[in-house]
Structure 1
Amino acid sequence: MVDAHHLETYRDTARFADDLSDPRMDAVDEFWRELDAAEVIERTEYQAERIE
């Protein structure tokens, strides 16, 4: 397993983002609020395969 996908790494990244004074983080916070209030969330998964 790669360290980038460990839960603590996600938490560290979230704490880092929360500490930023970047106004773009307001849009990220709004995105999470909208997801939290969502009744249905759709997703699309793509997979690519190289055929040689």
Structure 2
Amino acid sequence: MRVQAIQNGMAWVYWQDKTWAVSPGEKLGQVTVTGINPQAREVLTSAGTIK
């Protein structure tokens, strides 16, 4: 997984050859998005941080 973009409380994450739009509380596979840090360009998840 890697972050492609962050805007307006949402993040676009590249995973399994697709780009997924996610926001806090949503699941991506077995991982739950717990937060988005636009200043650091990071997506916080239940499994760690995606950059």
The TM-score normalised by the length of structure 1 is 0.17
RCO greater where, 1 or 2, for CA within 8 Å and sep 6 or more?
Answer: 2
- The higher radius of gyration belongs to 1
Structure 2 length as normaliser, TM-score?
Answer: 0.17
Structure with a larger share of its residues in strand? 2
